[in-house]
Amino acid sequence: MDIEKIREIIDKEPDEAVSDILEGVKERYGEIPYILEFMRDMPDLLLPKVMYDNSIMREFERLDPKTIELICIGVSSALRCDHCMNMHIRVANRLGLSKEEIFDAVLIAGAISNASVLAEGTRALDTEFNGKKCDGNDECDVCKIANHD
């Protein structure tokens, strides 16, 4: 969101700014996410949140909207947030992504989540049973990654 658009929003009365912002969100998503609807009466929180989120996920041109939704699906799946995942699946469906493409994002999230669980678990086992640990100095005994601070 460019600085002029931000100034324009800030100069409006809070209720008008919230209505305009939520109308734009509805245009983009086809619905207003629950959390934004919940925050409707909290313009001091809602407006900066939407502007920040928008500047991260919607204003740059390096990723297309379909890719952004697949990332959102993968992350919400990995975090096990059904509410976010269901909304982003609906948005992805409206954007024309197939069930198989969406499932691929879920599969990737599952694989990364699995790797994360295994990485933490195996390091904890190595520490407990073999005395190996990552102490932040020099090189990690477990993963052999040098600390370059």
pLDDT tens digits for 10-26? 789 999 999 988 998 89
Same domain, 143 and 82: yes
Residue 148: pLDDT above 90? no
pLDDT (0 to 100) of residue 5: 74
Same domain, 72 and 48: no
Same domain, 76 and 127: yes
Residue 60: pLDDT above 70? no
Which residue did the predictor score with more confidence, 120 or 70? 70
The token duo for 30 is: 């086809």
Same domain, 3 and 34: yes
Please provide the average confidence, as pLDDT, over all residues in the chain: 86
| Confidence category of residue 57, pLDDT binned at 50, 70, 90 | confident
State the total domains in the chain: 2
Measuring CA to CA, how many Å separate 132 from each of 49, 56, 121? Answer: 42, 39, 13
Q: What is the CA radius of gyration of the chain?
A: 21
Residue 131: pLDDT above 70? yes
Same domain, 108 and 144: yes
Same domain, 46 and 76: no
Same domain, 115 and 139: yes
Residue 135: pLDDT above 70? no
The CATH number covering residue 129 comes to 1.20.1290.10
Measuring CA to CA, how many Å separate 50 from each of 3, 22, 64, 116? Answer: 14, 9, 19, 30
Same domain, 100 and 120: yes
State which of 13, 33, 60 marks the end of a domain.
60
Same domain, 82 and 107: yes
Same domain, 16 and 50: yes
Alpha helices of the chain — where are they, by DSSP H? 3-10, 14-29, 34-38, 43-57, 65-78, 82-94, 99-130
Range of weakest confidence among 34-38, 73-77, 78-82, 143-147: 143-147
Average pLDDT rounded to a whole number, residues 75-84: 94
* Residue type present at position 83: H
Tell me the pTM.
Answer: 0.73
How far apart are the C-alpha atoms of 97 and 21, rounded to whole Å?
26
Domain range for 109: 65-149
Which residue did the predictor score with more confidence, 61 or 63? 63
Helix 3-10 with 43-57: angle, nearest 10 deg: 170
